[in-house]
Structure 1
Amino acid sequence: MASLLSGIYKGGDSEATPRIPPPPGACSPSGDGGRGSGGGVGNASSTSTATFSAAMESGGPPIPTPLKAVSYAMSKIAPLSLADTTWDNVGVLLEAPFPRRSKGVFLAIDLTPAVADELLSDANSSISVAIIYHPCIFKPLKALSWSASSDGANSMLIHSLLRLSAAGISIYTPHSALDSAPNGMNDWLAFVVSSDVAFQAAGLAALGGGWAPIQKTKVSQYIEKAGLGRLVSLKESRTIEQIVSRIKKHLRLKYVLVAQAQPPDHQIETIAVQVGSGGSVLQGVYADLYVTGEMSHHELLAANSRGISVILLHHSNSERGYLQDVLVHLLHIFLGEEYGIRVSARDHEPLSVM
């Protein structure tokens, strides 16, 4: 286990709300605009920020389209070299041949038919790029045609992609790159489980302050604190009921799922977190508590047998809050305030309790 765990978060339970540190490579005008060229890695030690427009004015290559601007910004926030491309599909997944020139960016976790309809509504006529966290194109598609969209498992996806492309809307997906990045989704979830301070647009809580990932990435030697999962050590121990209350408040959830391995009054000092599906990342890691989106039945039993309690948030509930809490503000840093950024109102967790 010692080789797996690269560090422990020493923060948490803070009453202060410090500013967010800049993401890796923030001042470099060169970017990883497409798929996985590793943009931003060589400049990971930089601590200043520059908007896309400023970077272009300082001698960078002319990149006029909103898609290129968004790709540049995301390469600074979550370099695609951090993604695990042995299974993941990241970067520009849909490039509209005749793109809109309006500077509007739309954020969602999943491209569902409802989200596609929302994108194409009159209210979102200024949107030119959608950042969809999960890859909408994951398995190969045999065809992109209206006839192919008439039936089959991918029919609604193909229909949505064709409609968005025809409307001039492109899609960028960060997925596991954003999971692993400093100031990314796992740093945010570590904050959620460890702090009573709510996120505020005017003063973002510091992410990644003192913790390191559970699993290092293949390029983690170039980007400090990059990798999957986070191990949190609380300054003051809490009961599982107190942790649940904290999570529900931060994520605005009515319920979570709990598999308790200890008595209710057991004091929790360490928490291992992973957004989305955390079973494989958290396996073998010792902590008092696991917090993730989902785990299998047997993964839950294995954790409980080791005395580790588990809180499940449902898959996308463990991810969605990051878009508004953090990503909106990071995009404004790199794109400038001239870009309008909107979070989907129709993107939601598919599971509910009746």
Structure 2
Amino acid sequence: MLAKGQTVIQYMEQLAPKHVAMEDDKIGLQLGSLQKEITGVLTALDVNEQVADEAIARGANLIIAHHAIIYRPLRNLQSDSPMGKVYEKLIKHDIAVYVAHTNLDVTEGGMNDWMAEVLGIESSAPVEDIHTDNLYKLVVFVPKDHHQRVLDAVLNAGAGAIGNYSHCSFNIEGYGTFVPGEGTEPYIGKEGRMEKAEEIRIETVVPQSIRSKVIQAMLKSHPYEEVAYDLYPMDLKGRTFGLGRVGKLQESVTLEQFVQRVKEKLDVPAVRVVGDLSRQIKKAAVIGGSGGGYWRAAMFKGADVLVTGDIDYHTAQDAEMAGLTLIDPGHNAEKIMKSRVADWLREKLQESRYDTKVFPSEVHTEPFTFL
């Protein structure tokens, strides 16, 4: 059995929820349709003509990419232009393209965690916070004989997470009163007569990102025609998602030694370095893509070095004068996402016994040649 496009993307958005993306980021479905069975998924950093040909050759009709194929507004769609040829080829072969960019960068277990992991950065925290999942208090009143059913539905939908604890709730027994109106079909009682029912008040916390999912699960499992519940904002904040990662290394190394680690683990032939190669590195920061603008935030968090791509000349000068060392492995170092996303989706699809195949792209999309 093949997975539907929407099913594949539901799994993808478990890894990289859209709501944590940076404002105005170009993410989501950019080309084609998800209303079809997916024979194969190709995970790619970029989408060019060679990647499109690879998808065709492998029988993949969905590409999940990190970088957008439509970044700026299109003025036309001419098939004889370089990108127009790519769009035409994808459309003719019914290949959809879905983009997960900064949402994949900042999510827990995503791009920046993968990069921090391979570089040996431990107990890492975001370099800069960009999104906090606000918390709501959910209160619902449930007849005693349906208490466990509703409680399980709400908690299994994701409510009740407090720090490293899950399924947290508070439950109080009491009595509810109501008069069923004309034309009602009450679960308990009769039309027009005051009823007194043994009920349990369930209280739990709900992150804003899954508020609708939790409410739907609650309503579906509740026996009442009209469910009595409250949902109100809390001053407490939920999980924070941030750009980059910063943390200590297991043991101090020289900048030169750390440079060799970056080249090996991120699979790049060369890097640009700012700083004294003999300097001892105890704490490191990494930001996938172009993170030069966050060097002050990395330094504020105590980093001795920042690993990120596309560092410009003046940024390098400013960081050097401030005492922060820099390693620029290029933007293409983010290609680590190809195999990691493929592994994630393959596991999820296999758990549900789908026959949809998942392939990491083998096309080299680095535009620079190092001599």
TM over 0.5: yes
Matched, 1:215 2:128: yes
Matched, 1:82 2:20: yes
Match runs of 1:224-303 below 5 Å: 224=239, 226-260=241-275, 262=276, 264-286=277-299, 287-303=303-319
Distance 1:232 1:285 in 2: 10
The Cα shift of 1:112 comes to 1.4
Distance 2:55 2:6 in 1: 19
Residue 329 and residue 350 in structure 1: after superposition, are their counterparts in 2 closer, same or farther (change >3 A)? same
Tell me if structure 2 keeps the 8 A contact 1:268–1:288. yes
Matched, 1:342 2:359: yes
Question: Of the candidates 127, 137, 140, which is equivalent to residue 73 of structure 2?
Answer: 140
What's the secondary structure of 1:341's corresponding residue? strand
- For 2:51, the equivalent position in structure 1 comes to 115
Distance 2:107 2:304 in 1: 25
CA displacement 1:231-272 (0-9 Å, x = unmatched): 121231110121112222222332222111x3x322111111
Q: Percent identity?
A: 30
- For 2:32, the equivalent position in structure 1 comes to 95
Task: Give the letter aligned to residue 127 of structure 2.
Answer: I
Question: Of the candidates 306, 310, 318, which is equivalent to residue 326 of structure 2?
Answer: 310
Tell me if structure 2 keeps the 8 A contact 1:294–1:315. yes
- For 1:131, the equivalent position in structure 2 comes to 64
What's the secondary structure of 1:149's corresponding residue? coil
Matched, 1:187 2:108: no
Which stretch shifts more, 246-255 or 177-186?
246-255
Distance 1:283 1:266 in 2: 19
Which has a greater percent of strand? 2
Tell me if structure 1 keeps the 8 A contact 2:254–2:278. yes
Larger CA Rg, structure 1 vs 2: 2
Residue 252 and residue 304 in structure 1: after superposition, are their counterparts in 2 closer, same or farther (change >3 A)? same
The Cα shift of 1:294 comes to 1.8
Distance 1:142 1:283 in 2: 37
Distance 2:3 2:266 in 1: 34
Q: Which runs of 4+ in 1 moved over 6 A?
A: none
Task: Give the letter aligned to residue 212 of structure 1.
Answer: A
Gap regions ≥5 residues in structure 1 = 1-52, 54-63, 196-208
Distance 1:115 1:72 in 2: 23
Tell me if structure 1 keeps the 8 A contact 2:79–2:88. no
The Cα shift of 1:65 comes to 5.7
TM-score normalised by L of structure 2:
0.66
Tell me how many residue pairs correspond in the alignment.
263
Tell me if structure 1 keeps the 8 A contact 2:42–2:360. yes
- For 2:104, the equivalent position in structure 1 comes to 178
The Cα shift of 1:226 comes to 2.0
